[in-house]
Amino acid sequence: MISVLAGLACVLAAENPPQQVIEITVELRQGSDWKPVSSQRVFHANDDIRFRLRSRIPGYLYVLNHASSGERAWLYPRPNQGFSNHVEIDKVYLVPDTKGSFIVGGEPGFDVTYWMITPESQDISAADPATRTKPGSLLPRCREGLLRARGVCEDQQAGPHSVSDSSEIPPLFSSSGGLISRDLKFQTSEPAIRISTPEPQSGSIVYALWIAHR
């Protein structure tokens, strides 16, 4: 009986694999080119980065950056963006946008970017992102290993994070019904971050991406 139940569990798991819904790649400008890099990379001041996103669910994309200095600013959509922030299935989008990028700077630490894809359009004009509260006091630390020997610094705290406490995120995000912490699965095989859920998701998806810099 035990072997039969185990076999049935394997069949069900095969029939209901995790649903990959979002893929994000962090890119670093090198000269005139953009190079995919690890999301756990520790960047330097004035590094120029951007994000490449592909989603398998449609919806409206919102990205808010909470800088290590405490300031918040919309990365997507940006003020006066001039085009819709609706994302279509399997289409590639650049954040901040096709002509923009994100200059790393401010106090050494972690910028926390909050990401949301939601079925309904949100009014960000009434949402004031400004704050002076710092997201944390942690400082990036290079982990030991071959990459550090090659001059590449990575911190295991950087990269994707689930958000279990609604008080951590902007009110606009928490009021949209984001997924609870245990629902999201992260796979950080380089260079892309892959985010999945146990089943098809029809509500909002909210998570954080920590950007380390020194």
Which residue in 165, 167, 145, 171 sits closest to 156, CA to CA?
A: 145
pLDDT (tens digit, 9 = 90+) per residue, 143-197?
776 555 467 899 999 999 988 777 777 777 877 666 655 578 898 877 899 998 8
Considering only CA atoms, which of 81, 28, 30, 87 is closest in space to residue 54? Answer: 87
DSSP 165: -
Q: What's the pTM value of the predicted model, to 2 decimals? A: 0.84
- 180 by Cβ neighbours in 10 Å (0-12 / 13-18 / 19+) ranks as exposed
pLDDT in tens, 67-99: 998 888 899 998 777 788 999 999 999 999 877
